[in-house]
Amino acid sequence: MIDFDVQGHLAVITLNRPQARNAIDPDTTRQIAEAFDRIETDNSIRVTIITGSPPVFCAGADLRAINAGRERELSDVNGFASLTHRQRNKPLIAAVNGPALAGGTEIVLACDLVVAEPTASFGIPEVKRGLIAAAGGLYRLARVLPRNIALECGMTGDPLSAYRAADLDLVNVLADAGEVVPTAVRLAERITANAPLAVSETRRLMLSTPYEPDEVGYAASRGAMKRILATKDAAEGVRAFVEKRAPNWTGE
């Protein structure tokens, strides 16, 4: 199961199956799907944090569900946990408060930013069970980490500590022990202070164009700027700057 809490412009999803190391089962998958369906349609929500009930972030798929023949219920059209291949328009921050292994790491890799505390660890140990990380871990880890480190993680199945993950830029912020969610909230607030439509377009372009030729990125950027200039928030941002006050974003 999950806990779902909305505080102002911020939504917090907490994986809450500590007795099962927050492993993803069919009910959790359905609840995550419902949460993100609401997040994407609720204009008041601008950033989401996903975390786990201590002391584990997520141990991946619930092997008992797999053993019971329910593997297909752990994914839907949006991927594993209804998240790993979901098309999103709003930023998602992983607040990793303990081990994030197998599908847990794949959930982290589906997020935009990562905050971790010292007890966190990351790994795709599927090869130790005769399996492979098939929910994005193999190719996303190879994008984030240096090639040889990614291959080491994939072929040995051994985890990375929070400190090494931070050194390798998998983690944006290394939080103090017990402070991962408050630290993630502060990071989220730095995002929600900005115009939500501009943040969404910025995120979309930065994820979709980094490997494209410059002319493709330029054309996409110009198109996005044209759309943004037509919004009320763009006018509000300029007006607030001239009037030397904080802008009042409406997402319009």
Residue (of 12, 1, 87) closest to 48 by Cα position:
12
- Helix axes 137-144 and 147-156, enclosed angle (nearest 10): 150
**Terminus-to-terminus CA distance in the chain, angstroms?**
34
Whether 53 contacts 18, CB under 8 Å:
yes
CATH number of 2-192, picked from 3.40.630.30, 3.20.20.105, 3.90.226.10, 3.10.20.440: 3.90.226.10
- Match 């200039």 to its residue by tokens: 229
Specify the CATH class of 196-243 in words: mainly alpha
- H/E element holding 96? strand 92-96
Please, where in the chain does CATH 1.10.12 lie? 196-243
Distance CA 125, CA 70 (A): 21
Whether 124 contacts 154, CB under 8 Å:
yes
Each residue's pLDDT, cut to its tens digit, for the chain (252 residues) gives 999 999 999 999 999 999 999 999 999 999 999 999 999 999 999 999 999 999 999 999 999 999 999 999 999 999 999 999 999 999 999 999 999 999 999 999 999 999 999 999 999 999 999 999 999 999 999 999 999 999 999 999 999 999 999 999 999 999 999 999 999 999 999 999 999 999 999 999 999 998 899 999 999 999 999 999 999 999 999 999 999 999 999 999
What is the structure's pLDDT at 72?
Answer: 94
Please, where in the chain does CATH 3.90.226.10 lie? 2-192
126 part of the active site: yes
Please list, in sequence order, all residues whose beta carbon lies within 8 angstroms of the beta carbon of residue 173, skipping any fewer than 6 positions away.
114, 115, 116, 183, 184, 187
Which of the residues 126, 201, 212, 252 is marked catalytic? 126
Q: What is the pTM (predicted TM-score) of this model? A: 0.96
Which of the residues 40, 71, 73, 106 is marked catalytic? 106
DSSP-assigned beta bridge partners for residue 10: 7, 47
What is the structure's pLDDT at 37?
Answer: 97
- Rounded to the nearest 10°, the torsion over CA 182, 197, 143, 107 is 50
In degrees and rounded to multiples of 5, residue 114 shows phi and psi of -135, 125
34 part of the active site: no
137-168 b/e (C-beta count within 10 Å ≥ 16 → b): bbebbeebbeeebbeebbeebebbebeebbee
What is the structure's pLDDT at 109?
Answer: 98
> DSSP for 12-26?
EEEE--GGGTT-B-H
- Residue 85 gets which letter from DSSP? T
Distance between alpha carbon 159 and the CA centroid of its chain, in Å?
19
